Structure 1
């Protein structure tokens, strides 16, 4: 009887999702701890930046010797869900974890979402083999692995659930994986919390004139909504620019530099040169913790004067060079930085609340780059509260519509 129940199409993936998410959450917790250590270590040993080109060679060789198909990263997992093939290699999880930590240890500008998603996909594929899942259930568990990794790394389980469903095909959700993804997202997040790893809190200041809606404050203002839509169009343009620049840098270096290990060397030298040109290290690494008092970070962007006029552009360039020349990590946290600092700048121009527009940019640039407006709207509620949900939705969907057809995931399909 239990075997019959376990084999049912809905129950089995849900039950498998629990141990999968526990292992993914544990590995993500380890990754976040190592990442924080690497960033803090570089803060106290700033000379490590000068070794970034050598770190790039090391990353290149690791993928050349051991990477195989793992080089495709998130796109490999998306492809495998759409059309199962050779599978996701087990080595992907430890390889992306180690190389992302190396990237941040030496100052490369990258994120962490890509690492968490690849950890999730790799471990989910491993468990699919252990439990001898058929092709349909394997696709669901791979999708749940994305949900667990994303929900665990940002502390946003609902966002992780919808992101995993929404990112596969633009304009369509894979509903058969909803329940396993929901279970995986929450279990992954709770596992990280159980390991004592905390996430960075973000806060949008309250505004006057809020209305009560079922006992909760709900803000809306026609003029502010119009300003939000105008800013969202620019957020969408920033998303489009980021995706195009990353692809352009990658294609240009691959075309003109035939010795492959020289590509990350050139990327590392460009990052070092830009840091000398600007005169401060604010755009290196993750951009969440300040290297010195007054540094521009995602958190500081929520405050008046917490970002420079072109902080968003510098972070875009730094990250595009880092990822486009072969260093490893995710795109999403840099997109948060780009969006929050651009929102800070636009708030001054449009005479709008700084923390609100930083928060809107945070989620809207991410929405345009990944083509996941629903997930990003939910992320706004999970991170900032539900009082400004109308603004979240307007910002995310307008940015999505204004970001063109180019996204950061080439394996994404369209309806």
Structure 2
């Protein structure tokens, strides 16, 4: 008996629902602390596996076969590698290797999990909005296919696969724990932030990205706290294995100290905004071309790989992730690169990224976007240095701000990208000029985005459409709408008799209650119909009922309840006591869709507007005083208001009055009350009463 207590506790813990859509509840916070920790652990381990797979495939394909290893960033082994591509052992094998990598990646993706095609972040965003599960095989397929794409020289980033690996685990965990749709979405978003935060060693930026990248002009605020917890766990696991240094090394004295240099960052913001538009349109233009090719889908990544290899023969800097060339561009090594290489590299990177991923290959677009932005900054510095006075002595400031501005704007995630790049470089001093550049780039980008699954705001997402369309429902709770039990069955009751009872009463189902009065299941006509007619006489209710039905707590909001009913495709569900003992679920009543609609209409019909209270556990009512109301034309102290309510404000004409005992409320005034949920019904009853008009005495002669 004692051994089942922890299991029962965890089961109840993971089924705790949001009360006021916040993490103020200690039990709800504990639930997400455990979930986020699990997601963070998998994000960190997944980042380790993916990072090691990329290094292995790069060493195998480019290092051992071609004899060329591109430089790596300072935080990942310094600038080791062959700087001169044509000094490599077998440079002519490059197109063959990139083609082979594309073909192998295409075969793996399209034979095992076609939805793993392209960049994983967009797929994770779409899964969030649609509330869909991510198949368990996708994270592994994404890891292998992306490592082969990147390791063979394909232009792709590692953030998309890392995000989809941990987001996929979040989806799997939500299924195992039987979380509701809203919590599944939070688990997906948490996985996105944890995966990206770990692989880039940027836990704060990754967590903010989880909330920001889902929308063009909005934030998923609820995702921030669980993403923060998961991201720091993932970062700790990955950092314990790979080290704690930022990805890029920058000069120690790098700082923004010249306000006049803001003019340079204005120009840089304009350049990054324009090239950001070019990145999005170029990438999806190439993607559409490949989608129209009359060839098997698994062949297209091979064609893309061949073209990438041919471009790499001329511009090897456009191969792979490209972080090493960003590192080179931050220091004196930039002067060693030919000017034509620096000028062409941003455009070549756009093309190779489109060919590698848009053709159906697997990899991220975040990393290439930062490389393109960094090279725009390097190009701008190279053209201005020694010609325009006041240009910084090192290109690092322009490279860092360029990374932030270009992808922060076109990804509609300016805050997250700024924080991520600051963490990746270990430098916060460039945030001030970056704000100027990122702001200008975001304005120029407009509605253009790199993530087609992004939606404008929460009101456009299925995750919040009901709440935004019917905001009144989010202020009403299940307790106000539920009805008492009208019919119930015992587990041992004959199934044929239960069927006759439901048919006679015209009901679709009823709760099943044991001898102790506890809920043990739900029986519906659909359950009965699954049992053959000839077997119903000898069958019992317990043989056909749902043993783990959908249930609600009285404190749940009606918008959440209506969405869960819709997702489960049922018209009613039992309401159970939050304080039920383990194994003894006390049923309080029934909530049906019709009950929600009835309460909604009744609340709308009242001459009041209901809002969430300023103080937790309260609601606010705003009414227009009508003739005959008990509080009209009398001093407030004589209005005999219910004890549970407080008059917050009185709007009289164009004036806002501070309520006092002697304040006289007049007909037509707008009065705002704050009241506890338990006292709301008494206040509504008081407001519905009218004064009895005095009897008129008549005299007769």
Give TM-score scaled by structure 1 length.
0.89
Structure 1: tracts of 5 or more residues without a match: 211-218, 290-296
In structure 2, which of residues 281, 284, 289 is the aligned counterpart of residue 247 of structure 1? 284
> For the Cα contact (< 8 Å) 2:117–2:361, is it kept in 1?
no
- Tell me what 1:285 maps to: 320
**Native 8 Å contact 2:106 2:299 kept in 1:** no
| Residues 240 and 369, structure 1, Cα contact 8 Å, conserved in 2 | yes
Match of 1:364 among 394, 399, 405: 405
SS of the residue 2:447 aligns to: coil
State the match for 1:37 in structure 2. 56
Q: Shift of the alpha carbon at 1:305? A: 4.9
2:105 corresponds to: 59
**Following the alignment from structure 2 to structure 1, what is the Cα–Cα distance between the partners of residues 117 and 293?**
20
Query: Separation in 2 of the partners of 1:261 and 1:77?
Result: 22
Equivalent in the alignment of 2:449: 407
Does 2:426 match 1:379?
no
Shift, 1:49, TM fit = 4.4
Alpha-carbon distance change, 143 to 408 in structure 1, aligned in 2, over 3 angstroms: same
**2:326 paired residue number:** 298
Q: Give the aligned partner of residue 46 of structure 2.
A: 27
1:176 aligns with 2:247: no
CA distance in 2: counterparts of 1:396 and 1:412, whole angstroms: 19
Counterpart of 2:239?
A: 193
Alignment match of 1:322 (pick from 345, 348, 356) = 356
Q: Is the 8 A contact 2:117 2:360 kept in 1?
A: no
**Matched ranges for 1:63-212 at <5 A:** 63-71=109-117, 73-85=120-132, 87-196=133-242, 200-204=247-251, 206=253
Provide the C-alpha distance between the structure 2 equivalents of 1:24 and 1:153, rounded to a whole number of angstroms: 8
SS of alignment partner, residue 13 of structure 1: helix
Which string of whole-angstrom CA distances, capped at 9 and with x for unpartnered residues, describes residues 84-134 of structure 1?
A: 13x111111111100011112321111101111111111111111122211
Query: Cα RMSD over matched residues?
Result: 2.1
1:80 to 1:262, Cα distance in 2 relative to 1, 3 A: closer
Following superposition of structure 1 onto structure 2, how do residues 265-276 of structure 1 map, counting pairs within 5 Å? 265-276=302-313
Cα distance in 2 for partners of 1:17, 1:391 equals 34
Write out per-residue CA displacement over residues 317-348 of structure 1, whole angstroms, 9 at most, x where no aligned residue: 22122111122111122122211111111013
Aligned-partner SS, 2:135: coil
Alignment partner, residue 496 of structure 2: none
Q: Hey, what does 2:383 align to over in structure 1?
A: 349
Relative distance call for 1:348 and 1:196 in structure 2 (3 A) is: closer
1:337 correspondence with 2:379? no
Q: 1: CA distance between counterparts of 2:38 and 2:404? A: 30
Greater relative contact order: 1 or 2 (C-alpha under 8 angstroms, separation 6 or more)?
1
Q: CA deviation at 1:185?
A: 0.9
Q: Using the alignment, how far apart are the partners of 1:300 and 1:55 within structure 2? A: 26
| Deviations, residues 181-209 of structure 1 (Å, cap 9, x unaligned) | 110111110010122356523315635xx
Distance 1:71 1:177 in 2: 26
Provide TM-score, normalisation by structure 2: 0.54
**Large movers: runs of 4+ above 6 Å:** none
Q: Is the 8 A contact 1:110 1:323 kept in 2?
A: yes
Q: What is the CA deviation profile of residues 18-54 of structure 1, one whole-angstrom value per residue up to 9, with x for unaligned ones?
A: 0111012101111111212222332232136413223
Task: Tell me the residue number matched to 1:216.
Answer: none
**Between Structure 1 and Structure 2, which shows a larger proportion of strand residues?**
2
Give 2:440's match in structure 1, choosing from 389, 398, 407: 398
Which deviates further from its counterpart, 38-47 or 107-116? 38-47
**Structure-1 residue corresponding to 2:263:** 226
Q: Deviation per CA, 1:8-27, whole angstroms, max 9, x where unpaired?
A: 53322232110111012101
Distance 1:283 1:320, change over 3 A: same
SS at structure 2 position matched to 1:414: coil
- Answer whether contact 1:17 1:183 (CA < 8 A) is retained: yes
Task: Answer whether contact 1:336 1:366 (CA < 8 A) is retained.
Answer: yes
